[in-house]
Amino acid sequence: MFPFTSLDDFKIDIPEEVEILRKTVREFVETKLVPRLSEIEKTGDIPEDLLKEAAKAGFTGIGIPPEYGGQGGSFLEMVVLQEELSRASLAFAASIGVSGLFTIPVLLFGTEEQKRRYLPHIASGEKFAAHANTEPGAGSDVAGIQSTAKKVDGGYVLNGRKIFITGAGKADYFIVSTRTSPPPSRRERWKGITIFIIERGFQGLRIGQRFNVIGLRGEQPYEVILDNVFVPEENVVGQVDEGFKILVTTYDYARISVAAQAVGLAQAAFEKALNYSLQRQAFERPIISFQGISFKLAEMLSKLVAARLLTYWAASRATKGGEEFIFASSIAKMYATEVAEEIALMSIKIHGGVGLDEEYGVTRYLRDALVTEIYEGTGEIQRLTTIRMLLKKVFGIDLAFM
């Protein structure tokens, strides 16, 4: 049981409404999303009418409480939504899911005014949001950001450059991290960061180049440039100079959705491999009759189930509260994304030559699995978080300061 204390710590509670949601999303995927997949891959964009359909179905409001115009729902609902959408398209799932990187910090740390002003528009799907933290010189090292916010009368002036920002092309609202003070010391370099909400119309905010990353076709990320952007005081989220905590807390929760994305795409890669191995004949038999293939499928399925359980466990723990959920979310993200890569690769191999044909669509799972491994904290960062949590919980040691 170590480092947990009781069997209760491993309980996964899935209320009936989560299963109802799963079926609703599955139907949307099969009837509306699947017929548009090649269009998304070819144009590199998510069709607007499809996003409107998803909003109409209530998907953009999941995780946002009803008092702010949302559907409510726990992390389990968010996870199931992301998993089912990613089974068809990671890009589409990310397109809707990335708003969580805005809504989570606003819900946890924002003012009542900020919640009322921004969340209902996101919940209704009328507006989209993005989260701009990564910079050319800082990704995993969140405290290494160099964008600045200088105090002026009535607010702040922001300057800097953010890269790989998902959803920036269509976002109306942005969560942006900046430095408001230099780090007081090397040990406390996480201090001095402040989070702001920027609206698309703010002068000096520019959307730059789009990055041609190999995966996430349809929702590839953008550069965001801050050129003397004036942001009013009331758009500071949480406390000035205390933004690091907001960022890492946001990622602690949001990475469960990335684990779910990995589970969804791994499920699709597995299903394709299974169907193909039943249909494909070699040496006058379906290839599934060869042990070399059937053992691979059994291994893929076991890893897929384990990844799904870890992900639901993390979502269940996050819903319950308490900082131990961070263990679960890091382990789930690390495991599910790495297993998705393995399953996607195995699926390509089971497909033989057609597995390498882009038109056939199996390579997409591998390209997308690689994205899930990197964004919202790489596997190395998840390992670090897991060990840091362990040392903190069991021995009271803070590894960050060693």
Ligand X SMILES: Cc1cc2nc3c(=O)[nH]c(=O)nc-3n(C[C@H](O)[C@H](O)[C@H](O)COP(=O)(O)OP(=O)(O)OC[C@H]3O[C@@H](n4cnc5c(N)ncnc54)[C@H](O)[C@@H]3O)c2cc1C
Residues identified as active-site: 376
Cα–Cα distance for residue pair 141/133, rounded to 1 Å: 10
Q: Which of 254, 110, 106, 248 is nearest to 190 (CA)?
A: 248
Contact pick of 122, 165, 318, 344 for ligand X (by CB under 6 A):
165
CB of 265 to ligand X, least distance (A): 14
CB of 375 to ligand X, least distance (A): 4
Contact 263, 93 (CB under 8 A): no
Contact 199, 155 (CB under 8 A): no
Q: 83-114 burial, b if ≥16 CB within 10 A, otherwise e?
A: bbbbbbbbbbbbbbbbbbbbbbbbbebbeeeb
Contact pick of 97, 105, 110, 139 for ligand X (by CB under 6 A):
139
Complex with ligand X: residue 75 or 164, whichever CB lies closer = 164
Contact pick of 60, 86, 134, 277 for ligand X (by CB under 6 A):
134
Complex with ligand X: residue 175 or 307, whichever CB lies closer = 175
Q: Does 14 bind ligand X (CB under 6 A)?
A: no
Complex with ligand X: residue 358 or 380, whichever CB lies closer = 380
Complex with ligand X: residue 130 or 288, whichever CB lies closer = 130
> Which residue is nearest to ligand X, using beta carbons?
139
The interface with ligand X within residues 338-397 (CB under 6 A) comprises 371, 374-378, 380-381, 384
Q: CA of 355: how far to CAs of 265, 272, 348, 359, 362, in Å? A: 15, 10, 4, 9, 6
Q: Does 146 bind ligand X (CB under 6 A)?
A: no
Q: List the x/- string, 167-206, binding to ligand X by CB under 6 A.
A: ----------------------------------------
Name the segment binding ligand X (CB under 6 A); options: 31-39, 70-78, 133-141, 195-203: 133-141
Q: List the x/- string, 204-223, binding to ligand X by CB under 6 A.
A: ---------x--x----x--
Token output for 375 = 């964004």
Q: List the x/- string, 69-108, binding to ligand X by CB under 6 A.
A: -----------------------------x----------
Q: Does 399 bind ligand X (CB under 6 A)?
A: no
Q: Does 133 bind ligand X (CB under 6 A)?
A: yes
Q: Does 131 bind ligand X (CB under 6 A)?
A: yes
Please give the size of the binding site for ligand X, defined by CB under 6 A.
24
Q: Which of 197, 327, 190, 178 is nearest to 255 (CA)?
A: 327
Q: Does 62 bind ligand X (CB under 6 A)?
A: no
Complex with ligand X: residue 142 or 273, whichever CB lies closer = 142
Q: Which of 103, 38, 98, 101 is nearest to 70 (CA)?
A: 103
Q: Which residues bind ligand X (CB under 6 A)?
A: 98, 130-134, 139-141, 164-166, 213, 216, 221, 371, 374-378, 380-381, 384
